[in-house]
Every structure is written in C-alpha cells, then in structure tokens.
Structure 1
Amino acid sequence: MRIVLIAIVPRRARTKSEATDRLLADYIERCGRYVPCDSQIFEQEADFLEWLSKQPGRTPAYTILLDSRGQQFSSEDFAARFGALRDGGSQRVVLAVGPADGWSSAALQRASLLLSLGKMTLPHQLARVVAAEQVYRALTILAGHPYHSGH
C-alpha cells in the first residue's frame, strides 16, 4: 500500500512555513518506515482529479477527501480503516485537503470516504500536518508500536 497526501492550493495562496513544512516532512518520513508515503500539491482541483484518474494499479486509489461534512473517527477507528484497506489489497490510499471553496460535486463523487478532522476550520498547512500525523498514528497502532498509548 502507498499513501499520498494531497493539498489543493493555488500558487498565489501558498505560504512558506518552515515549521509546518518540517513537521509534514517528518511525519511522511516516519510513515515511510511502514509504507511508502509522499506528498503533493496541486494548483487546482481539476489537476488533482486528472492525476487521480491516471494512478496505476489493478484497483482505483482509495480516495479520502477531507471535508467538514465528512465522518469523524477516533484514532483507533481510523487505524482499523487503514488496516482493512491494507489487508484488502488496496494499493494506493490518497488523502486530500481540498480547495478553499470546498470540493466540487465531481470530486465528491470520486471520493471513497469523506473525512472530517473536526468542526473547526484549519489552514491547509496545518490540516496536512494533522492528517499526516493521524496516518502515522494509524500505522503505529496497526504495528503495535507504543507511539499511541490510547489517550
């Protein structure tokens, strides 16, 4: 299974934040101890959807769109979902932070899961870090690593 963390951020809206960039890179590196993991930024949702349709594999990528209307999971439930995907043979899992105006109906139809990180709105940079940390936490839960102590 390969995990790809995506963000839709127009170039004009991108800001440099060394702190969040370092955190994101750190969690992606940590995830890489368990499964291949990387991150990409797209200027527009259409570019992301085109990229998504071109992903190789015998099955389509399992696509998780972060959306305030999505389901909320505990870390343990999120880990169980990842475990089921891994054990079910999913080759690619994509987690995507959407455009500032929200996902289009075309994107929502492509989603395998709508996931909410909570009711509060987060900046893209922070949402990406939170998503990456939760992916890492899920992988450590599945591996029985003590990173997640159940709190």
Structure 2
Amino acid sequence: MRVTICAIGRLRAGPELDLINDYLQRFDRTGRNLGLGPAQIIELEDKKGGGPAAEAVLLERAIPKGATICAMDERGKVMTSPDFANLLGGWRDQGVSDLAFVLGGADGLTKDLRAQADTSLSFGKMVWPHMLARVMLSEQLYRAASILSGSPYHRV
C-alpha cells in the first residue's frame, strides 16, 4: 500500500526535514515486508495566496486517483498508536493500494475537502504547527509498521 502525504507548505533543510526523512526511511524498511509503503511527501504551495480554497484545489490534484483519503484535522478522531496501526493494517488487508494523508496549511482544510475524506484524524486537542504535524505523522507511520511487525519500538 503506497502512502502519500499531501501537504501545504515546503520544508526547508533543517531538523524537521531530517526527522521526516529518517522516519519515512524507517517506515519503508519496516513496512516493505508487511505490504506497507513506500511513502512519499508531495509538498504544495499556493503562490497566489488564495487561502484554504486554493489550497484544496492543489491538494485534490495531488491525491493519487482512487486513493483512500485520510484528512489530518483538529476535528478528527483521536487514536492510540496501536489503533492507528490496526487502521493501516485494515486498509492494507482490504486491498487499498494508495493511501493519502492530507494536511492543510495554517488555516486547515476546507469543509468540502474534509467531506471527501474516508476518515479524519487528529493528533489531539492542541493545535500543532503544520510542519511538526508532518514529523508526527511520519513517526506514527513508522510506529504503526513497527507495531504490525511485532518490533519492540512501541512500548505500552
């Protein structure tokens, strides 16, 4: 199951990008034998400043055709890491070939784009900077693959 993170904004070289690359490499290595991955990030920029509506158009174009869509949104469901791992494993077992995580810009996702999503997840009640949200999502993807593989990385 290919994983695409479609995100508004571009990361510059630095610790956030280093962490994302590290966790996604770990996810690819761990997930390969589990039918998970590879993972990629598609970064999008609304250079005309059209706000969430213009960002939604860019995000919709970046989502692979036929992909299961998971909106990352503060109104979404809060899950434990094992529950997230089971969600990924379930999608894989149902034959999902493409999974897209969608992260909006500073003002989030439009109502219409959220409505298109198959599910919506949140990292909790606190609002996180969208660049850190990418790091957290990347780490949780790796953690999910580790849980599904029986690795001791995740401890309860």
Q: CA deviation at 1:99?
A: 2.1
The alignment's C-alpha RMSD in Å is 1.4
- Matching residue's letter, 1:46: V
What does the per-residue CA deviation read over 1:72-128, in whole Å, with 9 as the maximum and x for residues that have no partner? Answer: 000010011011001111001111221221211220121011100011111111100
Match of 2:59 among 31, 48, 58: 48
4+ aligned runs moved over 6 Å, structure 1: none
Aligned to 2:116: 110
Structure 2: gaps spanning 5 or more residues = 32-36, 46-54
Give the TM-score, by structure 2 length: 0.85
Alignment of 1:2-81 (within 5 A): 2-9=2-9, 14=10, 16=12, 18-33=14-29, 34=31, 35-43=37-45, 44-52=55-63, 55-56=64-65, 60-81=66-87
SS at match of 1:68: strand
Q: CA deviation at 1:17?
A: 5.2
* 2:154 is the counterpart of 1:148: yes
> What is the distance in 2 between the residues matched to 1:41 and 1:51?
9
Q: CA deviation at 1:45?
A: 2.3
Identity %: 36
Q: CA deviation at 1:16?
A: 2.8
> What is the distance in 1 between the residues matched to 2:72 and 2:122?
6
- Matching residue's letter, 2:5: L
Give the TM-score, by structure 1 length: 0.87
